[in-house]
């Protein structure tokens, strides 16, 4: 029998704020400029849900180590431009957060600066302030799909991994949750195909407004 749920760990990009579409758009725009035209499928496979080091590794392998810094700089600039032009929250997230009474936190592959920007612009930062963890934190040796980030968040929140559930929208994210010994809810209402999220200890869902009921069922299981 599963442990009672004591903590809900939210990914940020694509779960709280609708930034994954922005990241895809930015990479589609800049790829040809910097010598690596990418398809949307390649972007989802290589970059979405992963941290800055993973991007460095991918770009270095394809274009050489010297290309990584210009790539990151262009991505940050385009991402910030698109965020400021029209970032929205994931549809239904405000209602969902209002309906959840269990403790929550955020654990994201993105940097703290990025989350301050995106969560701040959408009015969500204060909801999670003091409970926001990043793959850039020194305690996180490896990014998703390794379990380090989620284990770090659980440890800081004082909750056993088996009592945590993760809300994710990427294949590296649900794999990281499984590796951490955590159940997950895979949100397939964004850019990631539902079949990429399916797997052991994972409930795949399409509408963020359904999450409170799914959590309620899990609590009662």
Query: Given strand 104-108, what is the order of strands in its sheet?
Result: 132-134, 104-108, 7-10, 164-168, 183-187, 202-205
Distance CA(3)–CA(26), nearest Å, equals 41
pLDDT for 172 beyond 60: yes
Model-wide pTM > 0.85: yes
Q: Give 93-116 pLDDT, tens digit per residue.
A: 999 999 999 999 999 999 999 999
1 has pLDDT over 60? no
Domain boundaries, the chain: 7-18+88-220, 20-86
For residues 28 and 132, what is the distance between their CA atoms, to the nearest angstrom? 29
The mean pLDDT of the chain is 94
The tokens describing 21, both together, are 């579409």
pLDDT in tens, 33-65: 999 999 999 999 999 888 889 999 999 999 999
Q: How far apart are CA 83 and CA 19, in angstroms?
A: 7
Would you name the residues annotated as active-site residues?
Answer: 11
Kindly state the average pLDDT of the residues 169-196: 96
Q: What is the mean pLDDT of residues 141-158?
A: 97
Strand 7-10 to 104-108 pairing: parallel
**What CATH number was assigned to the domain covering residues 7-18+88-220?**
3.40.50.1000
């Amino acid at each position: 029998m599963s442990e009672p749920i004591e903590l809900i760990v939210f990914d940020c990009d694509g779960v709280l704020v609708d930034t994954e579409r922005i990241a895809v758009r930015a990479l589609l725009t800049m790829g040809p400029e910097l010598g690596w035209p990418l398809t949307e499928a390649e972007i989802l496979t290589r970059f979405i849900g992963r941290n800055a080091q993973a991007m460095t590794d991918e770009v270095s392998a394809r274009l050489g180590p010297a290309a990584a810094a210009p790539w990151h700089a262009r991505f940050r600039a385009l991402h910030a431009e698109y965020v400021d032009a029209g970032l929205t929250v994931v549809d239904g997230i405000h209602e969902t957060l209002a309906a959840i009474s269990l403790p929550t936190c955020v654990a994201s592959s993105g940097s703290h600066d990025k989350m301050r920007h995106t969560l701040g612009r959408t009015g969500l930062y204060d909801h999670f302030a003091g409970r926001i963890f990043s793959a850039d934190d020194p305690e996180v040796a490896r990014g998703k799909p390794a379990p380090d980030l989620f284990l770090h968040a659980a440890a800081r929140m004082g909750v056993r991994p088996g009592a945590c559930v993760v809300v994710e929208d990427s294949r590296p994210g649900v794999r990281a949750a499984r590796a951490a010994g955590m159940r997950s809810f895979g949100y397939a209402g964004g850019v990631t195909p539902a079949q990429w999220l399916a797997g052991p200890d994972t409930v795949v869902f399409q509408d963020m407004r359904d999450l409170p009921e799914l959590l309620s069922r899990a609590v009662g299981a």
